[in-house]
Structure 1
């Protein structure tokens, strides 16, 4: 941050809005960076720990409105937390996580203080869908307990993992939630139609869930799996129950996603279903 950056508004001792000669208005975070500062005063470069451009003006305004409700200690903690996530994921995080995860965690702590809990209906699916994010989310929960003294319920791990995935893929949390819910519905239908209880810790379940996620991603990207092959007829004749169920799953996905799905998906889904049925 160049020395010519000047304070526009002090939000609290650790956060200021500054005027940057290139990026115009930015949000700066650093321990004590805003203490005793006045509007127009130059900032010490060495005090700046994090710079948010937040070019989306709505996002920037949301962040400004959020800060007074979370406290300065919590903002400092979030800076450490997000640095940890970025390092562990070895990926640059989309800036929106600074608002989304800060808001989510502060509200979760508020719920805990009030004795309220919030269930995560697709926790197991999230664990299989985003294993690395889930691992880091567990570390985040440990950091919260160690630094802030709050022991989060296990369901929160899934929500945190979704925020991490959102920040490294630039997907909206709402889309990730919809996709996770769709996969949960599909796995429940598989159990119902095949009259089995899926072992959600098994490698076969993990492979199924990962395939469904990739299939959904392919739909969003308009990608095709490939042409249907002779294997299609073989599977249809050898495993009619799994084959018909695969078609039913594809129809549900088309209905929920409101987009066509490559027919070749039927082959791979049938193989996954047959493996689950015979395991």
Structure 2
């Protein structure tokens, strides 16, 4: 493997025997080295190999725009988060989270603390990611000496959520979170109850809404319909049907999409199940 570009003593861009570009991190890996020299394999501590040219270019630009220590910090946080959550993140997280951490540090240095309007919802709907994000704040404090508020943990948690959705855009993840929260409020207001967030039925309902919302923004709604089942469920659970009609109206008015009878059937079943034991 040869050196194509040197970012600093600890980071370089290499080219392997198959002409693939790789970003390598290691203590002193580029010290006293020049372009064209062979890489000391024994000093490689972290290797980034991206499957698209676009990602490679973005990653190279990242090193030119932010301090390398933040990329290294992001790498440590990602490794920790993947172990804690037992997942494999999409490669985009190295770019998105490194950039976010660098920006957040600059903001805190300038005493600009951004409040996270969705913090309550993030803690409620993504508790595992949020817990790991709090741990990430400790990594940042240890590395930079900057103590960040819980609001920042909310933003980092959304990066963890985003990276588990095959590169789903961050703004889309935020929209999904809002839809989940809004629909739950519609249900609670309709039935005049507070749903049991610790129940399995609640978890199932939230999961259903999440997938529904992602289909809303990506695949779109299915046009297949089972009128017989829809009529049976509508007649069996009239209260759940009225609540589902409110959900349908909310989706139509806010996202200009009309949900199918099949989707309404699923909503009626979930709403009836989650509310039956909470009244």
TM-score band by shorter chain is 0.7 to 0.9
**Who is 2:250 aligned against?**
252
Question: 1:83-105 CA deviation, whole Å, 9 max, x = no partner?
Answer: 11222232322211111000111
The answer on 1:183 being equivalent to 2:175 is no
Deviation at 1:135, TM superposition (A): 2.4
Q: Is the 8 A contact 1:124 1:200 kept in 2?
A: no
The answer on 1:233 being equivalent to 2:229 is no
Q: Is the 8 A contact 1:134 1:158 kept in 2?
A: yes
Aligned match for 1:100, one of 96, 110, 135 = 96
**Who is 1:137 aligned against?**
133
Question: 1:217-266 CA deviation, whole Å, 9 max, x = no partner?
Answer: 45545567974262321211xx2xx5323212123335555555332443
Question: 1:136-193 CA deviation, whole Å, 9 max, x = no partner?
Answer: 2122122222333222221222221121122222122222122112223334444555
- With over 3 angstroms needed to count, the CA separation of the structure-2 counterparts of 1:39 and 1:82, relative to structure 1, is same
Shifted more, 52-61 versus 28-37: the winner is 52-61
Deviation at 1:25, TM superposition (A): 2.0
Q: Is the 8 A contact 2:225 2:260 kept in 1?
A: yes
Distance 2:233 2:142 in 1: 54
How many pairs were matched up?
270
The answer on 1:91 being equivalent to 2:93 is no
> Where do 5+ consecutive residues of structure 1 fail to align?
none
- With over 3 angstroms needed to count, the CA separation of the structure-2 counterparts of 1:176 and 1:225, relative to structure 1, is farther
Deviation at 1:106, TM superposition (A): 1.2
**Who is 2:41 aligned against?**
45
- With over 3 angstroms needed to count, the CA separation of the structure-2 counterparts of 1:200 and 1:49, relative to structure 1, is farther
- With over 3 angstroms needed to count, the CA separation of the structure-2 counterparts of 1:271 and 1:127, relative to structure 1, is farther
Q: Is the 8 A contact 2:2 2:15 kept in 1?
A: yes
TM-score (norm 2): 0.81
- With over 3 angstroms needed to count, the CA separation of the structure-2 counterparts of 1:199 and 1:191, relative to structure 1, is closer
**1:69-218 residue pairs with structure 2 within 5 A?**
69-170=65-166, 171-190=168-187, 198=194, 203=199, 206-218=203-215
Distance 1:207 1:121 in 2: 25
- With over 3 angstroms needed to count, the CA separation of the structure-2 counterparts of 1:78 and 1:130, relative to structure 1, is same
- With over 3 angstroms needed to count, the CA separation of the structure-2 counterparts of 1:26 and 1:255, relative to structure 1, is farther
Q: Is the 8 A contact 1:129 1:213 kept in 2?
A: no
Q: Is the 8 A contact 1:30 1:47 kept in 2?
A: yes
Shifted more, 16-25 versus 203-212: the winner is 203-212
Q: Is the 8 A contact 2:186 2:246 kept in 1?
A: no
TM-score (norm 1): 0.81
Deviation at 1:11, TM superposition (A): 1.0
The residue matched to 1:16 in structure 2 has which SS?
Answer: strand
Q: Is the 8 A contact 2:6 2:13 kept in 1?
A: yes
